[in-house]
Structure 1
Amino acid sequence: MVAGRQPQTRIQKKNTETILEAALDVFSQNGFRGSTLDQIAKAAGLSKPNLLYYFPSKVAIHRSLIDTLLKTWLDPLKKMQDDGDPVEEILGYVWRKLDMAREYPRESRLFANEIVQGAPNIMDKIEGELATLVNEKAETIRGWIAEGKLAPVDPYHLIFSIWANTQHYADFDAQVRAILKPEGDTHFDDAHAYLDTMYRKLLTP
């Protein structure tokens, strides 16, 4: 909603949520460049002028989604505790990321589409909040390695591999389901068992 307006009424809040929910569908399917305000308005069941009352542009809608998504994205890594058991702390991060792939597939694809396009709308956040947090956790992992609590690994590539091995199940959902033909989401349980074995063997000194 445009800055400076009064707090939203219940109806206005509902319409804002409806627009963001519709935009999430549209952006996650088509990417930022392939999406239009007309598509979002249609998906939301609103006229384009009505949509523009709440958000002045496609960029504003996308930015609102990304701001919320980035917080969701950072939380699992923030929960990695410096004073916990290193292997279990890293595995806990793996499970939280895998749970996100199961519970927030559209958000994952939204983020992936943005990155593939060069992150034009969120590069400041990637170079800022995300990079800062990753650097902090990389130092924690280096400390665990120096203390002999973890097998030697490159902390950055470890984190990148966790992203790749968990987000794959959201970003390439159609491919995974076409090959495995799972009943519901049972393949996430199989992925959990596989990733537990892989990372536990990799990380245990």
Structure 2
Amino acid sequence: MSPIFYLLAGPNGAGKSTLYRSAVASGLIPTDIEFVNADLHEAQSLRHITDARQRSTEARRWADARREQLLRAGQSFVSETVFSHPSKIELLRAARAAGFQVVLLVVCVDDPKPLPERVAQRVEQGGHAVPPDRILARYPRTLQHLTEAVPLADLCLLFDTTARRGQDIVPPRLVARLRRGVPTFTQDPMPRWALGMLRR
């Protein structure tokens, strides 16, 4: 049986951590595989580094190295990323070349403007801070790279957390399922960001 690489991807504040907990609770992601998470590693193992930027860089390097180790070992694992850099597309290709099945779980919103506030709320609960301008600058790059990545995944699930007026953070809602880029389920109406990935 092939090892599986589960990758949760989406903008800062879109709900990747919430989606992870939901996916584990539902049995979509096994509980017994390693979760490679740079933010968790930073919080648990790098507090001795006082410079926040350096701490974040070290956490990112650790995550990149750990993913590479697990790919070489052929060991199933899960990770998460904003997917704002094209290197993550190469990560999916590397996983497939190493014989992994790739399960891509994308979580996003139509309007990025509320994302900095969501991140600020998470920081109050001990989460990882990200400057608002960086969050907003990453959003279009994330969508662009994910649109390229969707066909590379053996299974891709698109989840929407767009809040309606008056709502705060909403649970992830499955809006599409694709196998190797071919839709096998779509929810009507579809959020704009998800439509863009389906129309590739």
The two structures have a TM-score, normalised by structure 1, of 0.27
The two structures have a TM-score, normalised by structure 2, of 0.28
